[in-house]
Structure 1
Amino acid sequence: MSKLHIRKDDTVMVLAGQDKGKTGKVLKVLVKENRAIVEGVNMVSKSTKPSAKNPQGGIVKQEAAIHISNLSLIDPKSGKATRVRIEHEGKNVKRIAKKSGEEIK
C-alpha cells in the first residue's frame, strides 16, 4: 500500500478524462485502489429499486471513483493545480505546494 498525496476534504482539479478542468472536494479516498471520489466529478447514472429511502426508485446520478493520477491538488494561494512536496518535522508531515510554497491543510 502506497502513501497518497490526496486526502479527504482536499480541493482537487481533474487533469484528464471527460471532466478535465473541473474542481471539487474529495469525499472519499480508496487507498487500496488508488482512487478517489470527488464531489460533482465523474457522474454516472445508476438504476435503483424502490426502497424506504427512495420509494419511487428509478435512475439516480452519483459520483464514481476517479484514479488519483488524474487529480492534482489546488494551490491555496493561486487557485491553480500544483504538485506537492512532503516535509517531515519529526513525526509531523507537511504538504507544501510546489508553485507557491504554501502549506496545504
Structure 2
Amino acid sequence: MASIRKGDQVKVIAGKDKGVEGKVIEVLSDSDRVIVEGVNRVKKHRRATQAGAEGGIITAEAPIHVSNVMLVVDVDGEKTTTRVGYRRDKVEKTRPDGSTYEAERSVRVATKTGKEI
C-alpha cells in the first residue's frame, strides 16, 4: 500500500474512469483506497445546517481501490506508467554527540527506469 503516496501522479487502469490521470489527494491505508483528483466523481445531497454549511447537490471525488491506479513517471520527456519497487541505500548518519554511523534507508524506485521517485 505504501507504493502510492499523497501527491503522486497516477493513471487509472481499470473502472469507469480508465485512462484518466490525476494527482492523489488522500490515501486511505486502512481500506487500501486512494482519492484521486477528478476521478470517480459522485454527487452528494447535503442539507443546509445551522453551523453555516450550505446545502444542495455537491460533486466530490470518491475513493477507488489502489490496485486500479498506476504511478506515472517521466521517461525522456514522455509520461509512462510504472510499478514501484524499493531499494536499500547506505547512508551516513550523525549522532547528537558528533560521532557518525552507517545506516540504511528505503527508497522508492520506478521499476521501468530504475530511478528514485
Distance 2:42 2:104 in 1: 40
1:21 corresponds, among 10, 19, 22, to: 19
Greater strand percent: which structure? 2
Bigger radius of gyration = 2
**Residue 99 of structure 1: aligned partner:** 112
- 1:2-61 residue CA offsets vs partner (Å, 9 max, x unmatched): x4210111111000000001011111101010000011100001000113132xx11110
CA-atom RMSD in angstroms:
1.3
Aligned counterpart, 1:83:
83
**Aligned partner of 1:62 among 53, 60, 63:** 60
- Determine what percentage of the aligned residue pairs are the same residue: 44
Unaligned runs of 5+ in 2: 90-102
Residue 100 of structure 1: how far off its partner (Å): 1.9
Query: How high is the TM-score relative to the length of structure 2?
Result: 0.79
Letter in 2 for 1:21: G
Task: Name the CA distance, whole Å, in 2 between partners of 1:12 and 1:91.
Answer: 28
Deviation at 1:66, TM superposition (A): 0.4
- Matched position secondary structure for 2:14: coil
Could you report, residue by residue, the CA deviation over 1:61-84 in whole angstroms, capped at 9, with x for unpaired residues? 000000000010001323111111
Residue identity in the other structure for 2:79: G
TM-score (norm 1): 0.87
